[in-house]
Amino acid sequence: MTNPVTISARGVVKAFGQGPGAVRALDDVSLDIRKGEFFTLLGPSGCGKTTLLRLIAGFEMPSGGTILLDGADITDLPPNKRPVNTVFQSYALFPHLTVAENVAFGLQMLGKPAGEVRATTERMLALVKLEALASRKTAQLSGGQQQRVALARALAPQPKVLLLDEPLSALDLKLRKEMQVELKRLQHETGITFVFVTHDQEEALTMSDRIAVMNAGKIQQVGTAKEVYTQPKNRFVASFIGETNFLTGTARAGALELPTGDTIPVEGLKPVDGGKPVTVTVRPEQVRIGKPGVEGAKAKVAALVYFGTDTHCHLHLRDGTEVVVRLQSPASGDSGLAEGDEVSLGFAPGAAQVVED
């Protein structure tokens, strides 16, 4: 993706409170979001993702740094002067207005002629399939319908960037899945840049072009879903997205030497200066189990948990370290392993990643 940058955050700091008691919600955050991207800010609650979104919207002013929109500095612009619209977590629909009036609100405030307001409102209601409910009050709508009104209202003024603050968190699972598809379709049809905030890593993986993983006010890693899943930069990213195993040992040429003395082949691993221990992460589905004696670490099957499509095999290394392996269940459902079996543990080629702590 080589589209031009739309939103650019440069060294953004946001501190709440003053003096030594101040909390840094955002600590020197720099980020580029490209035009037309579905960009996700992912992290646990309190990581600063919503604060960053509110700074882009203009609801809060940063304590330091700048925010650029298409190259222009918008850091000090009030929200009503930014060509950016928000879908709020609570939807924040105007209860005294009808569905159509809600959708028309932004266009009217922009001073668009009445004919254009009507036409665009109709088009937006059609886009979210709510034409039939145009004259209803918003309180009469279901959660999913309110969600659609909020989307139509925010999309109607054709913003350069649409900000979505955990918009699906209030919906039940089935509706959430539907809206995920719906959001992707809307983004595709409108071509507008979406900045999506979520704490749900699965939602982030399935929907995003790129993901910024955040923790403790800092950006941990930016990349595509595949990049952050298969090449996590640090321990936080590896453990926050999906399930994973961590193994600490000494790096040898092409192998990891565990504290037990066993070695596991790791392609391309190089010794570290001073022999400092390194941490390697490997996803449960990328762990390979071999017959005893095959090259790898000696391990014992501690538990087998059958999940239907998968079987989770809990292995114990000789020093008691647990490694979880996800095996695809064969047709018979029998993994061919039994508790207490001695096995040899290895990694799929290219699956093990050295991570920073």
Partner 1 sequence: MAKSGADRGFQVARVPGFAITAIVVFVALYLPIFTLVAYSFNASTSLAVWGGFSLDWYARAWDNDQVKDATLRSLIIASFAAVISTTVATMAALGTTRRRDFKGQTFIYVMINQPLMVPEIVTAVALMIVFGLVKVWLTSIGMGGLTTGLGYLILAHAAFCIPFAYLPIRARLEGMDLTLETAAADLYATPWQTFRRVTLPLLAPGIIAGAMLAFVISLDDVVITEFVKSGGQDTLPTYMLGQMRRQLTPEINAVSTMLLGLTVVLLTAFFLLTRKKT
- Quick one: which segment of 35-43, 91-99, 199-207, 235-243 binds partner 1 (CB under 8 A)? 91-99
Decide: 23 and 16 in contact? Cβ < 8 Å: yes
List of residues 6+ apart from 267 with CB closer than 8 A: 254, 349, 350, 352
Q: Which residues of 240-272 are buried (b: 16+ CB within 10 A; e: fewer)?
A: bbbebbebebbbbeebbbbeeebbbebeebeee
Nearest residue (CB) to partner 1, 84 versus 327: 84
Smallest separation (angstroms) from partner 1 to the CB of 109: 4
Interface map 285-324 toward partner 1 (x if CB under 8 A):
----------------------------------------
Query: From CA 41, how far away is CA 323, in angstroms rounded?
Result: 30
Residue 193, classified by CB atoms within 10 Å of its CB into exposed (0-12), middle (13-18) or buried (19+), is: buried
Does residue 17 bind partner 1 (CB under 8 A)?
no
Smallest separation (angstroms) from partner 1 to the CB of 340: 55
Does residue 85 bind partner 1 (CB under 8 A)?
yes
Does residue 106 bind partner 1 (CB under 8 A)?
yes
Nearest residue (CB) to partner 1, 2 versus 18: 18
Smallest separation (angstroms) from partner 1 to the CB of 84: 8
Tell me the C-alpha to C-alpha distance, in Å, between residue 191 and each of 122, 183, 184, 244, 348. 19, 12, 10, 35, 39
Residues in 119-178 that interact with partner 1 by CB under 8 A:
153-154, 157
Applying CB under 8 A, among 6, 50, 51, 86 the residue interacting with partner 1 is 86
Does residue 105 bind partner 1 (CB under 8 A)?
yes
- Quick one: which segment of 6-14, 20-28, 80-88, 235-243 binds partner 1 (CB under 8 A)? 80-88
CA 230 to chain centroid, in Å, comes to 14
Decide: 42 and 48 in contact? Cβ < 8 Å: no
Query: From CA 47, how far away is CA 15, in angstroms rounded?
Result: 13
Applying CB under 8 A, among 110, 170, 304, 324 the residue interacting with partner 1 is 110
Does residue 194 bind partner 1 (CB under 8 A)?
no
Smallest separation (angstroms) from partner 1 to the CB of 8: 20
Does residue 181 bind partner 1 (CB under 8 A)?
no
Q: Where are the beta strands (DSSP E) in 175-329?
A: 193-198, 210-215, 218-223, 245-252, 255-257, 263-265, 277-282, 287-290, 297-306, 310-317, 322-328
Q: Which of 238, 231, 236, 187 is nearest to 39 (CA)?
A: 187
Nearest residue (CB) to partner 1, 96 versus 174: 96
Applying CB under 8 A, among 2, 21, 96, 135 the residue interacting with partner 1 is 96
Q: Which of 256, 253, 340 is nearest to 295 (CA)?
A: 256
Nearest residue (CB) to partner 1, 33 versus 57: 57
Contacts with partner 1 by CB under 8 A lie at: 57-59, 78-81, 84-86, 88, 90, 92, 94-96, 105-106, 109-110, 153-154, 157
